[in-house]
Amino acid sequence: MARAEPHPGKAATLGDVARLAGVSLATASKAINGRDEVAPATRSRVIQAAEQLSFTPNQLARSLLAGRSGTVGLLTGDLEGRFVIPILMGAEDAFGAGQVNVFLCDARGDAIREQHHLKALLNRRVDGIIVVGDRTNPRPSLGDGIPVPVVYAYAPSDDPADVSVVPDNISGGRIATEHLLSTGRRRICHVSGDPTYAAAQDRAVGLRAALATAGLELVGDVMFSDWSEHWGRSAAALLLSQHPDIDGIICGSDLIARGVLDILRDLGKRVPEDVAVIGYDNWEVLATNSRPELTSIDANLQALGRTAAMRIFEALDGAAPASGVQTMPVRLVIRGSTIPRR
Amino acid sequence: MARAEPHPGKAATLGDVARLAGVSLATASKAINGRDEVAPATRSRVIQAAEQLSFTPNQLARSLLAGRSGTVGLLTGDLEGRFVIPILMGAEDAFGAGQVNVFLCDARGDAIREQHHLKALLNRRVDGIIVVGDRTNPRPSLGDGIPVPVVYAYAPSDDPADVSVVPDNISGGRIATEHLLSTGRRRICHVSGDPTYAAAQDRAVGLRAALATAGLELVGDVMFSDWSEHWGRSAAALLLSQHPDIDGIICGSDLIARGVLDILRDLGKRVPEDVAVIGYDNWEVLATNSRPELTSIDANLQALGRTAAMRIFEALDGAAPASGVQTMPVRLVIRGSTIPRR
DNA sequence: GAAACTTCCGAAATGGTTTTCGGATCATGT
DNA sequence: ACATGATCCGAAAACCATTTCGGAAGTTTC
């Protein structure tokens, strides 16, 4: 047997409420929305009727009238959701829960699908669009024919006229390096990931700059390959054979760092006493489960999402676009792989 | 300087198109929507006008009229997004890209926030709601006062009158066990996670059943604690000291399995030659980066999302609710931790 | 008692699209 | 020339909430 009234045919409309309360639509609207042109007695009558019918105003109709839908599109190509979820949460924070809702569209790296989603979002009259990429390389702009503000998060647009918000990878490389230096390390090398990633290059730049400031040079070349744990292991083995005296390894990702830690353990090196290791991304589940726990750089993605949302707001309020790429500060999270537990 | 026309004040409406083409709204609508009560010449004139103005129909207005918004709400408490993203992708597949868009709302484990989001979704007149939890324990039902179909995915509702779709953990435990048995293992133990998780209990049930069918018993008790790599390491050390002759370890999660693999390596046990290890979740980045790569059980979350979406469809089409908990088959992914590489 | 004012309520327009139904036009058949 | 039919188009209603503006009461003031 079907449940009682599982999906009642129609939701109550303002008209229903007005009829039940014995007033006109206009009065009902004013009573419910707390406008002051209505007598207290009438108001309470209307409100009671609304509750009785469990009336909720139809946002569709409201949006149509207001010209604002109170929705935002999040267009992502990030297959795993590692970046997009924190960014979404940040955006939700900025918009205020319940005020604005977010359409999440996954283009899965496909430009056609992205166009498809974009069109669908515009048809739904979203008030703004946040485009999220999975790497910090510039990505093709959606173009300037879009009738709502667009902000690019994590992956910047290749058009400087667009608004982009990205983590500051140069600074990240510098901070990681300065931290190792502050713990007394002097023979530092760098195992990074895919060299075609702007993030890899930027971090290396920051790293070299920090070393130069301290009058030091990188031990060996930056080792590029991919972002995997496998590579972290291979790289560490190679590194230790070529430069047995290194005392600090800066890794391009936490996954790489995990591989490096594995090999250091196999080779009998103590971390952090003999060699300090630092990762990147602060992927908690990896960083807190390693032996020892992994110091890492956190990109503050939630703050990044909040900022992206605020840029949308500003554009909606008619502020000057402030176009270009805005970099967001990153954060050092210190754990046992660089500082011994007391 | 501001860009040229960054956000043109108004998008073209059907009225604009009609005026430009010199026809009425009704005719313009029919021409664009391919209805056959319009002369070919008129139609092409309208279509050209529409393209000239780059007209796109306002979905808000369309939805208002149709009584269907073409949107679905995905209400999640999954903080990390590990479950919700595949489920979202599956739902998108089922709905057809561009036909339906998904509002993603993260309640962050907060019942108040969940209510808030739910209300917002209903006000936006979503056509259905998918509730995603981060564990397979029954969760509180949203209740039966909701005017649209609701499907619970991953975490079932505690109300049997609701529609729930969950992965088949019992079967998962059985499949994992049968796989180890098929590789000749006979002394099998089980390191699982938090015993308050229904998933942990279910997997253990399936495991014991498969062993019983083969006339075997579990070596030692099921070891419960939490889902971490740390626990995997502690458990493995304990296990090997108590039962040095075990030849198969079934783990409650890939993270636990990673910890187990670490300790086996430390103790000089060869995997899979001496001991086979199998994980759970098929978290690719963990499973493919371990030494050796990790055999695991995949919950087919994308298919689960697809099914959840189809349940919504069915309810919308007025089909019988088919309420209760539906379990979805899981899948064995074989890698090097159970079968030696040839 | 009439004018001025306040207080509250309702009719109607608004937003953009779809759909129904009646009307107009034109060609065909007789 | 008139009826019949076919073909195309347009006026208007519908969806639902908000807002403006005018009007109907009721109250105060001289």
For the stretch A14-54, pLDDT in tens is 999 999 999 999 999 999 998 888 889 899 999 999 999 98
pLDDT of amino acid B2: 34
Q: How close A216 comes to chain B (CA, Å)?
A: 34
* CA A19 to chain CA mean position, Å: 48
For the stretch A63-88, pLDDT in tens is 999 988 999 999 998 777 788 999 99
Rounded to a whole number of angstroms, the CA Rg of chain B reads 27
User: Which chain B residues contact residue A229 at CB under 8 A?
Assistant: 289-290
| pLDDT > 90 fraction of chain A, expressed in percent and rounded | 77
CATH superfamily for A70-167+301-328 is Response regulator (3.40.50.2300)
**A167 CB near a chain B CB, below 8 Å?**
no
Reported as type and span, the H/E element at residue B327 is: strand B324-328
Q: Give, in Å, how far the C1' of C27 lies from the CA of B38.
A: 18
Angle at alpha carbon of residue A74, lines to A72 and A77, rounded to 5°: 165
pLDDT over 60 (residue A166):
yes
pLDDT of amino acid B165: 96
**B255 CB near a chain A CB, below 8 Å?**
yes
pLDDT of amino acid A336: 95
Whole-Å CA distances, A248 to A189, A200, A261: 6, 18, 12
* CA A229 to chain CA mean position, Å: 23
Q: How close A43 comes to chain B (CA, Å)?
A: 22
**B3 CB near a chain A CB, below 8 Å?**
yes
Q: How close A131 comes to chain B (CA, Å)?
A: 15
- Tell me the C-alpha distance between A73 and A150, whole Å: 9
Give B 191-220 residues with CB within 8 A of chain A: none
Q: Are B66 and B114 in contact (CB under 8 A)?
A: no
Residue ranges of the domains in chain B?
A: 14-57, 70-167+301-328, 169-298
**B221 CB near a chain A CB, below 8 Å?**
no
pLDDT of amino acid A61: 94
pLDDT over 80 (residue A9):
no
Is the backbone of residue B322 left (phi > 0), alpha (psi -120 to 50) or beta?
left
Using CB atoms within 10 A of its CB, is residue B41 exposed (0-12), middle (13-18) or buried (19+)? exposed
Which residue is listed with tokens 């509750």? A51
- For residue B74, the SS3 value is strand
Whole-Å CA distances, A12 to A98, A143, B149: 21, 42, 17
Q: Give, in Å, how far the C1' of C3 lies from the CA of A38.
A: 26
pLDDT of amino acid B145: 84
Q: Which of B97, B291, B323 sits opposite A116 (nearest CB)?
A: B97
Q: Write the single-letter amino acid at A61.
A: A
pLDDT over 50 (residue A1):
no
pLDDT of amino acid B10: 67
Reported as type and span, the H/E element at residue A51 is: helix A40-52
pLDDT of amino acid B1: 33
- E strands in A158-253: 163-167, 188-191, 248-251
Residue A290 — φ and ψ, nearest 5°?
-85, 170
Residue nearest to nucleotide C12 (CA to C1'): A26
For the stretch A228-261, pLDDT in tens is 999 999 999 999 999 999 999 999 999 999 999 9
Sign of the C-alpha dihedral computed for residues B276, B281, B287 and B288 taken in this order:
positive
Q: Which of A6, A82, A123 sits opposite B56 (nearest CB)?
A: A123
Q: Are B165 and B326 in contact (CB under 8 A)?
A: yes
pLDDT over 90 (residue A318):
no
pLDDT of amino acid B6: 41
For chain A, give the mean pLDDT.
Answer: 91
Architecture of the domain whose range is B169-298: 3-Layer(aba) Sandwich (3.40)
Check for a shared fold between B70-167+301-328 and B169-298. Answer: yes
Residue numbers in chain B where pLDDT is lower than 50: 1-7
For the stretch A261-311, pLDDT in tens is 999 999 999 999 999 999 999 999 999 999 999 999 999 999 999 999 999
For the stretch B245-281, pLDDT in tens is 999 999 999 999 999 999 999 999 999 999 999 999 9
Q: Are A110 and A131 in contact (CB under 8 A)?
A: no
Whole-Å CA distances, B120 to A200, B151, B222: 41, 18, 44
Residues with CB under 7 A from strand C: A 22-27, 37-43, 61, 64-65, 67; B 10, 13-15, 25-26, 29-30, 32-33, 35, 37, 55-58, 61-62, 64-66
CATH superfamily for B14-57 is lambda repressor-like DNA-binding domains (1.10.260.40)
**B40 CB near a chain A CB, below 8 Å?**
no
Q: Give, in Å, how far the C1' of D23 lies from the CA of A30.
A: 18
The set of strand D positions with any atom below 7 Å of a protein CB reads: 7-21
- Tell me the C-alpha distance between A130 and A102, whole Å: 10
Question: Does the CB of B67 sit below 7 A from strand D?
Answer: yes
Q: Which of A124, A188, A118, A166 is nearest to A338 (CA)?
A: A188
